[in-house]
């Protein structure tokens, strides 16, 4: 509960009162518009101290989502709240795993990947390094988790951000192809039906992978593209499905580029830049064999292949007719 007023002659009046949720029960309330005095040093509003009005905030996470538990709602690539070190009971987690990463979201992936029983990941920023810990939900009491709205008021090098590993599970909604570029996705979350590594290309761009998928995989909808700077190859991963929106990761995970377009990334997890497959794209296809992870070096168009087949068929038929006529004439001259 906070109030502020600049009405006093010598100094401003700022009041801050902490209380339990039942401390305001039965109290008379006024319209919220009467508590719109700017609080000093922040983006929050205060009650008007000159009128003895306090603006009431609930700082706990459970106030925002009272009808579900801490991980009962999804916040992909975000956090559910923050918690002070003294409120973490590390002794209750017998499978505790701790490590360092460069980004918070990498901690969530690692907790989910290396320990399927993990329900929580807590991260803390120390300098430029993120410390990560994989926990069970018994380690944290929900009433100790502070709402995300107020986490910025805490010291980042002492407070922990609380994440739920279930946020990264496949969701119900799938991505749409309103444009060619969809987003960035970790390779182990992308379900591929066909993949290839292209080498010897004069130009590397996502369109090459789009053409490959359309011309080799019937019903292809999406393609993951990643540039491999070491081998100077372009990795294409084709899929007949649209991934769930929750599986898409932050754009900074795809830090490689092919010209002016994103072409995946390779941090602690390899990432694909995800593109749509246009309905009719025949600029350049790929000749390939029915093998998995084929090294493809010859680029031709399917249209040209079909045209060549028609032309060769015509030449064969025409040649057959000429030979037949020649044999007939020879036989005719032989008998007469």
Q: What is the pLDDT of residue 89?
A: 84
If pLDDT is split at 50, 70 and 90, which confidence band does 207 have? very high
Q: Is there a contact between 162 and 120 (Cβ–Cβ < 8 Å)? A: yes
Q: Residue 306 domain-assigned?
A: no
* Exposure class string for 300-313: b at 16+ Cβ within 10 A, else e: ebbeeeeeeeeeee
Assess if residue 314 is contained within a domain.
no
Q: Are residues 119 and 223 in the same domain?
A: no
Q: Which range, 15-29, 115-129, 318-332, is most confident? A: 115-129
Q: Is residue 229 part of a domain?
A: yes
* Same domain, residue pair 261 and 292: yes
State the residue range of the domain holding 139: 61-168
Contact 324, 332 (CB under 8 A): no
How many domains is the chain built from? 3
Do 289 and 186 fall within a single domain?
A: yes
The model carries a pTM of 0.55
Judgement on whether residues 25 and 70 belong to the same structural domain of the protein: no
Identify the residue whose tokens are 């290839």. 196
Confidence of residue 225 (pLDDT cuts 50, 70, 90): very high
> Does 23 score more than 80 pLDDT?
no
Question: Exposed, middle or buried, 118 (CB in 10 Å: 0-12/13-18/19+)?
Answer: buried
Residue 318 has pLDDT above 90, yes or no: no
302's tokens: 């399917």
Quick check: 299 pLDDT over 50?
no
Q: Tell me, what's the pLDDT at 302?
A: 37
Same domain for 202 and 145, yes or no, is no
Range in 182-191, 221-230, 326-335 the model is least confident about: 326-335
Could you read off the pLDDT of 89-112 as tens digits, one per residue? 887 765 567 788 877 877 887 787
Q: Could you give the CA distance from residue 119 to residue 142 in angstroms, rounded to a whole number? A: 13
- Mean pLDDT on 311-326: 69
* Residue 268: predicted pLDDT: 57
Residue 111 lies in a domain: yes
Domain boundary among the residues 147, 168, 189 is at 168
- Is residue 289 within 8 A of residue 280, CB to CB? The reply is no
CA distance 299 to 284: 7
């Amino acid at each position: 509960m906070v109030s502020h007023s600049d009405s006093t002659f010598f100094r401003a009046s700022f009041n801050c009162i902490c209380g339990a949720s039942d401390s305001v029960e039965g109290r008379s309330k006024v319209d919220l518009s009467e508590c719109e005095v700017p609080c000093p040093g922040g983006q929050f509003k205060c009650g008007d101290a000159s009128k003895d009005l306090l603006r009431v905030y609930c700082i706990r996470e459970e106030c925002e989502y009272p009808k579900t538990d801490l991980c009962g709602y999804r916040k992909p690539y975000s956090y559910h709240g923050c918690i002070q070190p003294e409120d973490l009971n590390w002794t209750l987690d017998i499978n505790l795993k701790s490590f360092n990463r460069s980004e918070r979201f990498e901690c969530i992936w690692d907790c989910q990947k290396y320990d399927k029983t993990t329900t929580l990941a807590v991260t803390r920023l120390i300098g430029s390094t993120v410390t990560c810990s994989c926990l069970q939900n018994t380690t944290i009491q929900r009433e100790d988790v502070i709402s995300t709205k107020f986490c910025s008021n805490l010291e980042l090098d002492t407070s922990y951000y609380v994440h739920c590993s279930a946020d990264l599970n496949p969701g119900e909604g799938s991505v749409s192809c309103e444009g060619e570029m969809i987003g960035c996705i970790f390779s182990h979350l992308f379900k591929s039906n066909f993949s290839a590594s292209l080498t010897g290309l004069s130009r590397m761009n996502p369109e090459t992978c789009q053409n490959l998928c359309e011309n080799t995989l019937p019903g292809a909808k999406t393609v993951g593209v990643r540039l491999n700077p070491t081998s100077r190859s372009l990795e294409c991963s084709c899929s007949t499905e649209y991934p769930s929106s929750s599986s898409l990761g932050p754009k900074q995970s795809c830090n490689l580029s092919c010209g002016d377009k994103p072409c995946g990334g390779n941090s602690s997890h390899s990432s694909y830049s995800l593109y749509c497959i246009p309905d009719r794209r025949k600029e350049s296809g790929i000749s390939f064999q029915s093998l998995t992870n084929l090294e493809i070096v010859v680029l031709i168009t399917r249209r040209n292949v079909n045209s060549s087949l028609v032309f060769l068929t015509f030449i064969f038929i025409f040649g057959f007719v000429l030979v037949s006529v020649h044999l007939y004439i020879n036989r005719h001259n032989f008998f007469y």
